[in-house]
Amino acid sequence: MSQVAANRIAGKPREDAYPSRQATEAQVLPRLDDVVHGSWTPDAPLSKEDTQSFEQDGFLVLRDIFDAGEVETLCSAAARLRGAGQSALEPETLISEPGSGHVRSVFRIHEQDRTFARLAADARLAEVARFLLNDDIYIHQSRMNYKPGFRGKEFYWHSDFETWHVEDGMPRMRALSMTVLLTENTPHNGPLMLLPGSHRHYVTCIGETPDNHYRSSLKQQEYGVPDDESLAWLAAEGGIAAPTGPAGTVIIFDCNTMHGSASNITPLPRSNAFIVYNAVSNRLEAPFGPATPRPEFIASRMHVAPVQPVTGPLMRSAA
């Protein structure tokens, strides 16, 4: 029996290091956890400069990780998922845009497509996650986010950790996302935007989370959204970054880095794959907010087998 479960049975309150959605006013609290959990050595999978950059800014851009053939394989897999429909995918993992019905997201891609299963285990990603989190890792969540030309809607500013903590029960900040761009991301077609340095501050949100909030939040989030004043302060402190690049570019960002993206009103579609790695020691507990946890396809709590990094070209392993 876990200590959390024992405390509940004994009637003891559970420690909540990052309370949110419990007060009528938002607060900006200090981060209590390390950003880089591992200690850099010359054998680390990141350079010392890149490690320091991630620690300082809360994100890092890696280029030329995959060769042209691997990028083509990944882009083909992304297009295949978008066109698969409910008959080929787990229906609840397919999320449509509000209003238009276009595909907005496909979740659990590492368990529904062997190319993305191979990507999630690729040593060029997984070894970096293991180093930064200094632990065995598992896939907390995976998804494809699509923004079709003219119709792709925004993803409003948010900290992933705030949602993962409140709605999923992730105890501490020991997780990160890796985004692989699978179309060119330009300054105009709704690229990922991040607030540098925001990962060092925990912005609490207001409003008690309703049960099954995920059914609407995956289309348009209402709870777990930071207030304007906190966002303005974070932007004034560190500015706004919007990394762009061709397909194959990788953006790594800390679980608490404030991020979002604007609508895509250009003719240029935008597609990005997201792999979320969590430390095994940081596996999910009961949610800190609603009584009912979000389903497994959004937040893995049963499937926490450590990722075994795989080396070699993506194409050979995925074919």
CA 52 to chain centroid, in Å, comes to: 21
Q: How would you class 27 by CB atoms within 10 Å of its CB: exposed for 0-12, middle for 13-18, buried for 19 or more?
A: middle
For the record, the structure tokens of 2 come out as 């876990």
CA atoms of 82 and 79, how far apart (whole Å): 5
Four-CA torsion 257, 163, 178, 86, nearest 10 degrees: -150
Residue 189 has pLDDT above 70, yes or no: yes
Q: How confident is the model at residue 159 (pLDDT cuts 50, 70, 90)?
A: very high
CA geometry: angle 193, 197, 199, nearest 5 deg: 85
CA 132 to chain centroid, in Å, comes to: 15
Residue 54 has pLDDT above 60, yes or no: yes
Q: Taking the model in full, what pTM does it have? A: 0.91
State in words which class domain 26-318 has: mainly beta
For the record, the structure tokens of 296 come out as 């497994």
Q: How would you class 1 by CB atoms within 10 Å of its CB: exposed for 0-12, middle for 13-18, buried for 19 or more?
A: exposed
CA 318 to chain centroid, in Å, comes to: 23
Q: Higher model confidence: residue 187 or residue 94? A: 187
Q: What type of residue is 47?
A: S
Contact by Cβ (8 Å): 139, 277:
yes
CB-CB neighbours of 262 under 10 Å: 17
> 252-311, pLDDT tens digit by residue?
999 999 999 999 999 999 999 999 999 999 999 999 988 889 999 999 999 899 999 999
Domain boundaries, the chain: 26-318
- In sequence order, what are the beta bridge partners of 29? 202
> 205-257, pLDDT tens digit by residue?
988 776 655 554 554 456 678 999 999 999 999 999 999 999 999 999 999 99
